[in-house]
Amino acid sequence: MSELSPPVTSGKDPELGELLRLMHMVDVERQKRDLALEELSTADQKARIREELAKVYRAEGAAVSEAEINAAIEAQYAQRYSFSPPPRNTSYQLALLYTRRAWIATRIVFPLLVCAVVLFGVNRHTAHKAEALRNEAAAEVQRAVDTFKQAVHDASSRTLSLSNQFIKATEAAAPKRLLDQGQSQLARAAERLREVEGRAAAYARPVEVATYHASQQRLESDSGVLKALRAENGAIEETVKQIQRLTDARMELEEAVRGFREASPAPGMLARGEAQYQSGLTQVNSGNELLALQEAKALRDMAKSLRSSADYVQTASNLVATIERIAKEPAAVEQARLLATELQNARTLGEFAKAGTTLAQLREMRDELDSAYTLRIVDRSGAKSGVTRTARNQFKANYYYVIVEAVTADNRVLSRTIVNEETQKSERISVWGERVPKDLYDQVKEEKTKRGRVENKILMSKERGYLQFKPGRLGERIAQITRWD
């Protein structure tokens, strides 16, 4: 076969379609040439094979005809382009995997590798975090252990301090009940202290991560023992405080009775004070400090009253002397002396309020004797001159009063102590109602109604040196009121 020579082109470039057609023709001619060469080489191969087979059969001494050799060769060549599937063994599977390696790598191996890396990272992070948490928990337990050991040390110091306080408190006289109670509490506290100190000593080594949970559980149990020790210490402290309070109460009682005795009470009052002192001591021995303090207060009040009333008798004596000098009626002097005697008796019996009231009565008597005034009926515009009141203890009965005030010669209005007959209470006032008979009330009312004023305003008068009033329009005082509106 002759080779195809390249086309001769003119100076003008061929068009694209003509160029493609020429290329296709070249390709077809090349395929024909390759097939012809292959057929020529096959004939040569068959000839060489035939010669080799004939040599082999002759060497073996086999009688094989040329036709049989040609038939075998043709049969072999007939199978050249037939396909027989390979056996599906391990080699086949490996080869198949190899041919699909790109797909397997992108669809299976790479995703699995990514998942593996992610899982490895997550597991690594989780393990690291769990380890950090365990370390932190162990550190927390170690801090709790350190706190527990410090608390045990503090509790030990407090137990020792309370023991010393109890010993010091018992140096003073204390009730046997409290002494026995405190000793029993100290014994229990000492036992608890030994136990908790032993448990604290077991934490000599630092808390390990592998055993921190067990250490935490043991610490909870040990904290219960420490709590019991603290409770015992609290009970001891309360006992010591109670003993101290009783000691203070005894001291206050001693001081109060000493002050009472120094006030020089009368024999009867002295006996009364000593009885209160003994009662206070009994309360101290019984553990009742509040009642003991009440007895001490009573003694202090008695001593204070004795000291404050020490001048009562002398003051009363001076008042009586003044009354004797200015009084012009024997009854006033006799009444003053009687009040002085009542004051002395009240002070002796410890009735200091009564003694003070009696002294006030003596002063008021002195002032009354030393004054001179008239009871003048009030006769001012807008002011009442008289009122009526319904008698409380009599059915359909009325009492009649004129409104009066105490006026001196120089027209000064005085305040007087008046007992209200309706309430039986004394009041210091300048205007009050003086009870009068009905006819006198009617006279005053008629004067006020017809003439617009009271003609005779002087109801009664009192001279200096007298307690009794001289009759005026009223012959004798009956009773008084202080409120009528």
Q: Is residue 79 predicted with pLDDT exceeding 80?
A: no
d(CA 295, CA 301): 10
CB 352, CB 309: distance < 8 Å? yes
Sign for the CA dihedral angle at 292, 296, 297, 301 comes to: positive
pLDDT of residue 434: 94
Q: What is the pLDDT of residues 178-221, one digit of tens each?
A: 888 889 989 998 998 898 888 888 877 787 767 777 878 888 88
Same domain, 224 and 238: yes
Q: What is the pLDDT of residues 302-320, one digit of tens each?
A: 888 788 777 788 889 999 9
- What confidence tier does 15 reach under pLDDT thresholds 50, 70, 90? low
- What confidence tier does 144 reach under pLDDT thresholds 50, 70, 90? confident
Q: Is residue 395 predicted with pLDDT exceeding 90?
A: no
Same domain, 401 and 335: no
Here the tokens at position 4 are 């195809």
Is position 119 within any domain?
Answer: no
pLDDT of residue 378: 93
Is position 102 within any domain?
Answer: no
pLDDT of residue 13: 53
Same domain, 266 and 357: no
Same domain, 359 and 412: no
Name the domain count of the chain. Answer: 4
pLDDT of residue 36: 66
Q: What is the pLDDT of residues 250-260, one digit of tens each?
A: 899 999 999 88
Here the tokens at position 165 are 């306080």
Same domain, 258 and 337: no
Q: What is the pLDDT of residues 35-70, one digit of tens each?
A: 766 665 677 777 877 777 777 777 777 777 878 777
Identify which of 235, 220, 218, 225 has the alpha carbon closest to the alpha carbon of residue 196. 225
Q: Which domain holds residue 38?
A: 22-73
CB 118, CB 112: distance < 8 Å? no
Same domain, 221 and 261: yes
Average pLDDT for 7-19: 55
pLDDT of residue 17: 67
Q: What is the mean pLDDT of the chain?
A: 84
Same domain, 271 and 192: yes
Q: Is residue 138 predicted with pLDDT exceeding 70?
A: yes
Reduce the DSSP state of residue 431 to 3 states and report it: strand
Same domain, 457 and 350: no
H helices within 263-311, ranges in order? 267-285, 289-308
C-beta pairs of 176-182 under 8 Å, 24+ apart in sequence: 177/287, 178/239, 178/242, 178/243, 178/246, 178/287, 181/239, 182/236, 182/239, 182/240, 182/243
Give the helix/strand (H/E) hosting 436: strand 431-436
Q: What is the pLDDT of residues 407-452, one digit of tens each?
A: 999 999 999 999 999 889 989 999 999 999 999 999 999 988 888 8
Which of 369, 394, 416 is the last residue before a domain boundary? 369
Same domain, 184 and 243: yes
* pTM of the shown model: 0.48
